[in-house]
Structure 1
Amino acid sequence: MTRLRIDLAYDGGDFFGWAKQPDRRTVQGSIEAALHKVLRVDDADESEPLRLTVAGRTDTGVHASHQVAHVDVSDEVLQRCVGHMQVSAPDALARRLRAVLPKDIAIHRVSVAPDGFDARFSALERTYIYRVADRFAEVDPRLRGCVLQLDEDLDLELMNQAAAMTIGLHDFGSFATPNPGGTTIREVKTAYWRRIPVTPLVGDDMTMGEAWRTPSLESGLAVFTIVADAFARNMVRSLVGSCIKVGSGRKTLDWFADKMANPVREGSSGPIAPQGLTLEHIAYPPDDQLASRAEAIRAVRTL
């Protein structure tokens, strides 16, 4: 049996999230169906389940520019995808998956996972980005699927004061819901807002005398970056929504501080729209620490 690491990306706009669901289009369901097709394995074959484990489940409408999953495949089945290709079995599988998957899923690479690797439990941290076009930014309709558009002026200084309160080990019960048997305690390592500078797509040394300078696509956007060991359900979108309420003047910093101090779920700190959110990066420890990291993270977090 070989454990494969799959690095991938997807546009979440037309998916009902990552997790497989009956009669709904999901990222996991699409990839697992493709695996069964290219490896010629019946979906009902319990001896070869081809089930994906993912680093972080994304919700309906949320994107990933770099997601990580793993799947266990018997050596005999894995060799089926090689055929006449003069490449390794993981490379052959990556090529065949790209040929059958829908265009809103991209396979970056497929590789043999190191011993002890678990896509979910071995991860050290996840990085999410949320992109907002407020009144400061010129709205580009090409970005409507991955940027939230707001007709508001946002005070990023106030929003950063709110974001700073989230750093450290906290119970984020005001902003998230726990999985069965789990908690909403998470450790946030980095959280901040910044304005993308308004810059041209190319620098002065790359121009050819043109009168118009094409702007960089993300110029002027307000962008939230958050890094944590893990995230509870709806946590990032709820934090973003609450920061925006502070930055637009609809809520105060004291209100946000109260939400952090009293982790009780209620309507005013619920999740904002999903399209601005993208999972950007998953970090893992060195190979010789993968198994110990997976074992440690399975423990229920406490304050």
Structure 2
Amino acid sequence: MDERIRLRLDVSYDGAGFSGWAPQPTRRTVAGVLVETLDLVLGAGTATGLTVAGRTDAGVHATGQVCHLDLPVDVWRQHEGRLLRRLARLLPADVRVRAMTEVPDEFDARFSATFRRYEYRVTDAPFGAEPLRRHEVLAWPRPLDLAALNAAAAGLVGEHDFAAYCRRKENATTLREVTRLDWRRDPDGILVASVQADAFCQAMVRSLVGAMLVAGDGRRPVQWPGSLLVHRERSSEVTVAPAHGLTLVAVGYPQDPAEYARRAELTRRLRVPVEG
């Protein structure tokens, strides 16, 4: 068997034209497009074991996605100096591989990760979203109060069972630790939520945003999003915010590569594979 090497890929994409990350036989997905292009450049089946940090849903964007794959060492040595530019020429314009880095075999893009951070963008401008930003910014039809949004966010930070905000997956835990959740207005007046946790359940970030928005526009008290944490199943009161406002912006890993395997083992023990 050929000696193989593990590579980390840093990937960004506009999610509007994709049915999410995960491969689906009859749909256009980020993983599907990436594998097709790698097969075209390197030969079918040469790149194996594509594994991603966060399996984003349909319509969700990424500027900081991370995945890994394995290549035969001789193939990598043959192509490493020009592979990034070849991918840039052949990949569609809505997905980019920004970097390819050799990593230890113990690196696991999914299970070695220590955190994922997402941002959600909303405008409450009376005219709606700027046309050039409409694919990444949600237009909210009511004024939003920044202080109320942050008060609602405060009740969701910490380690909780987020079952009320997760799509149920059999045998999967909904216990998560949210280490950061806050809102700010950027210089253009766009409201940006930053949400960071060790991992997220499917649709969790957009569900949290949906709950905070109705507190931010005054239709619910700021304590309401936090009060839902007592539920042990998904709450029908929570509306999932649209996908196009959400972007995966960063995935964190241990600074010491020697910790990759330990972190991966710990994560596997704690939970069934998660959705990003």
TM-score when normalising by structure 2: 0.91
Residue 66 of structure 1: how far off its partner (Å): 1.2
Query: 1:167-218 deviations in whole A, cap 9, x for unaligned?
Result: 1111111111244431111111010111113xxxxxxxxxxxxxxxxxxxxx
Residue 139 of structure 1: how far off its partner (Å): 3.3
* Amino acid in the other structure paired with 1:194: R
Question: Partners of 1:290 and 1:231 in 2: how far apart?
Answer: 20
Which residue does the alignment assign to 1:287? 257
Alignment pair present for 1:141 and 2:131: yes
Which residue does the alignment assign to 1:162? 152
Which residue does the alignment assign to 1:150? 140
Which residue does the alignment assign to 2:101? 111
* Amino acid in the other structure paired with 1:71: L
Equivalent of 1:69 in 67, 70, 93: 67
Which residue does the alignment assign to 1:270? 239
Structure-2 change in CA distance of 1:183 and 1:16 (3 Å): same
Which residue does the alignment assign to 2:215? 246
Alignment pair present for 1:55 and 2:53: yes
Which residue does the alignment assign to 2:13? 10
SS at match of 1:271: coil
Which residue does the alignment assign to 2:176? 186
TM-score when normalising by structure 1: 0.84
Residue 100 of structure 1: how far off its partner (Å): 1.0
Structure-2 change in CA distance of 1:31 and 1:21 (3 Å): same
Please show how residues 219-230 of structure 1 align to structure 2 within 5 Å: 219-230=188-199
Structure-2 change in CA distance of 1:26 and 1:231 (3 Å): same
Which residue does the alignment assign to 1:259? 228
Which residue does the alignment assign to 1:131? 121
Please show how residues 22-61 of structure 1 align to structure 2 within 5 Å: 22-41=25-44, 43=45, 48=46, 50-61=48-59
Task: Tell me which protein shows more strand as a share of its residues.
Answer: 2
Larger Rg: 1
Question: Partners of 2:170 and 2:231 in 1: how far apart?
Answer: 21
Structure-2 change in CA distance of 1:121 and 1:238 (3 Å): same
Structure-2 change in CA distance of 1:25 and 1:145 (3 Å): same
| CA RMSD, Structure 1 to Structure 2 (Å) | 1.9
Question: Partners of 1:230 and 1:90 in 2: how far apart?
Answer: 32
Question: Partners of 2:89 and 2:169 in 1: how far apart?
Answer: 35
Residue 49 of structure 1: how far off its partner (Å): 6.1
Q: Is the 8 A contact 2:128 2:139 kept in 1?
A: no
Question: Partners of 1:123 and 1:18 in 2: how far apart?
Answer: 17
Report percent identity of matched pairs. Answer: 43
Question: Partners of 2:127 and 2:207 in 1: how far apart?
Answer: 22
Which residue does the alignment assign to 1:209? none
Q: Is the 8 A contact 2:62 2:248 kept in 1?
A: yes
Residue 261 of structure 1: how far off its partner (Å): 2.1
Structure-2 change in CA distance of 1:295 and 1:7 (3 Å): same
Q: Is the 8 A contact 2:5 2:105 kept in 1?
A: no
Query: 1:198-240 deviations in whole A, cap 9, x for unaligned?
Result: xxxxxxxxxxxxxxxxxxxxx1011100111111100000000
Structure-2 change in CA distance of 1:178 and 1:118 (3 Å): farther
